[in-house]
Amino acid sequence: MAKSGGERVEIRSASKAYGAVRALDGVSLDIAPQEFVSLLGPSGSGKTTLLGILGGFIQPSAGTVLFGGRDVTFTPPHKRDIGIVFQNYALFPHMSVGENVAFPLRARRQPKSTYAEKVRGALAMVDLAGYEERGIGQLSGGQRQRVALARAMIFEPRLILMDEPLSALDKQLRETMQIELRQLHRRLGATIIYVTHDQREALTMSDRVAILKDGKLVQIDRPERLHDHPADAFVASFIGEATLLPVGRAGGDGVSLAGAVLKSGRPLPAQGELVLAIQTEKLLIEDGTGAPERNRFQARVTDVVFQGESLRVFLSLPDGTALSLRQPSHYEAARRIPPAGEMLTVSLHPQDTIVVPKTGTP
């Protein structure tokens, strides 16, 4: 299959109201051709509503949707020429794999003489070559999801919408499929807009991630930027594994926490109350060899939980504030952790001392 080239997608002030409830509130996005953008947020954030507007299944109360500069705001779904992959696969159980994959070609009245070759190409793309005659009931969950992907790609759409397509799979298969989808996107070259509530999934696959809350777009950026430069306390809590602690201003780039002054390596928000977002993997147990510029403070160990590849260490600051850090579970790292009840020194690099506005606190 040839690269599709990807579609530019522009969303201008899209809103959707159901009576007094605003499911989507003035969202604007500009998505480049061949970009993979995830819409991420908790239940009720508006991400599925936005995807429905993009697919033509939901008409916006206000706003405009453009595909490649064309206004498609009120164009019906079957005329948008987009591929769609749903959470429940939406395959036809009475049809074979090949018939399911060929269905979009039939719907578009393409020549039957082209079906076999295009089906073979689409199935090969998702590593299901030779599965044309299989029944849907003979497939595993992961194979069914691949069939759904092949069906969405067979007519080489420039835009593919995906609505939590991996959520029904078990953890190991889901993680495998995330990497396969990332690689498939690079080969296919289509623009992909992907809805998920799983932040790790969004960070793994996306060129950019759009964070939605209460129908509004809170922040959109590259995964590493969202993780290290969250716009507010909500984004900091939703991306990664962070403990949010209220802090006071201590002059310049410093903040006060439980009697200690911590220096941040980035400018503090100019106004309002502040929150320190401590990401569990950035907080380290001090071993005496750390760089002198690191922020250091004392904490008491309250519990240590084994979680496979890592240990979650729960701590209490002198004023009773609770936080945690994560350490590898291998022997050398684990032996540095004192038993519950004992004190230790932890450190945080100024560049990892992330201070955000309290607004948006979950």
E strand spans, the chain: 9-18, 21-31, 36-40, 62-67, 70-71, 83-85, 159-163, 191-196, 208-213, 216-221, 242-249, 254-257, 260-263, 274-279, 284-285, 295-306, 310-316, 322-328, 343-348, 354-357
Write down the pTM of the prediction.
Answer: 0.86
Class of domain 9-226 (CATH, top level): alpha beta
Q: Of 240 and 121, which is predicted with more confidence?
A: 121
Confidence of residue 361 (pLDDT cuts 50, 70, 90): low
d(CA 362, CA 358): 10
d(CA 297, CA 348): 9
Burial (CB count <10 Å: 0-12, 13-18, 19+), residue 353:
buried
Q: What mean pLDDT is predicted for residues 178-207? A: 90
Mean pLDDT of the chain: 89
The fold of 229-357 is OB fold (Dihydrolipoamide Acetyltransferase, E2P) (2.40.50)
Q: Would you kindly state where each structural domain of the chain is located, as residue ranges?
A: 9-226, 229-357
pLDDT digits (tens, 9 = 90+) for 224-272: 999 989 999 999 988 878 889 999 998 888 898 888 889 998 888 888 8
pLDDT digits (tens, 9 = 90+) for 212-222: 999 999 999 99
pLDDT digits (tens, 9 = 90+) for 96-105: 999 999 998 8
